[in-house]
Amino acid sequence: MLILGYVATLVAAYLLGSIPTGFLLAKARGVDIRTVGSGNIGATNVFRALGKPAGIFVLLMDALKGFAAVALTLNYYHELNDLLPRMFPVEAITYPVVRLNYALLAGVFTILGHNYTCWLHFKGGKGIATSAGVYVALAPLAVAIALGTWILLFALTRFVSLASIAAAVALPTVVWLTKDSVTLGVVTTALGLLAIAKHKTNIRRLLNGTENRISFKRKGTAP
């Protein structure tokens, strides 16, 4: 029965993560975000195409997907057990290790849903905001340090990609140093490597000197 619980968790988490927030917001404004800028559906491209409020909204919503998946899994087992007793047995509530495994699964599949959304031919975002939401619930200190790293690199360079890559390195490093769970450390490292891999085109542009910097100067009305 525990296997059914895992399967139900990963399917629900993937579907939550697969909601393409940036694509839907841009579409509501008559823009196919995949055809402008970098073509990515994440907050950075939305920021460039539609402006700061839209970019911030997408950033928060993508982060909320990750946070909600983990927080619900960690904190509402009793309700889930009452709703689906055959899928969420009492062991999942009793043992913290099992509960953490469920939460990790929920986080990982929410990120995978965001990065490879089934609604857009399995092409999605880069997972930075969604990963941050997951780890606000799992390891808030690690997120705080990774966020500080992101802010510092962005302030110095104005490259979102470089700041995001640095944060993807900082997060698993802090998790290994501050958490006792080997599973959490391994999963976080894997997610960090995935985030870096999703930035391969940015890395190429950084090396070629063609990566775009974020500018806060007004350039006129966004489409």
Does residue 217 register a pLDDT over 50?
Answer: yes
The residue segments making up the domain with residue 60 are 2-208
The verdict on residue 213 lying in a domain is: no
* CB neighbour class for 219 (10 Å; exposed up to 12, middle 13-18, buried from 19): exposed
The pLDDT confidence band at residue 223, using thresholds 50, 70 and 90, is very low
The verdict on residue 157 lying in a domain is: yes
The verdict on residue 223 lying in a domain is: no
Query: Under a CB-based contact definition with an 8 Å cutoff, are residues 150 and 163 in contact?
Result: yes
Phi and psi at 51, nearest 5°, equal 105, 170
Percent of the chain with pLDDT over 70: 87
CA atoms within 13 A on the CB side of 144: 4
- Look at the chain and report how many structural domains it folds into: 1
Quick one: how far is CA 35 from the chain centroid?
22
- What are the tokens at 96? 């913290």
Mean per-residue pLDDT over the chain, rounded: 89
pLDDT value, residue 221? 43
pLDDT value, residue 8? 79
The verdict on residue 53 lying in a domain is: yes
The verdict on residue 222 lying in a domain is: no
Quick one: how far is CA 76 from the chain centroid?
21
Helices and strands: H and E segment counts in the chain: 12, 0
Buried b (16+ CB within 10 A) or exposed e, 109-125: bbbbbbbbbeeeeeebb
The verdict on residue 217 lying in a domain is: no
Does residue 86 register a pLDDT over 60?
Answer: no
Which has more confidence, 217 or 175?
175
129-155 pLDDT, tens digit per residue, is: 999 999 999 999 999 999 999 999 999
The verdict on residue 221 lying in a domain is: no
Q: End-to-end CA distance of the chain, in Å?
A: 51
The verdict on residue 38 lying in a domain is: yes
Query: Under a CB-based contact definition with an 8 Å cutoff, are residues 87 and 12 in contact?
Result: no
Does residue 80 register a pLDDT over 50?
Answer: yes
- Amino acid found at 36: V
Please give the Cα distance from 107 to 67 (Å, whole number).
Answer: 8
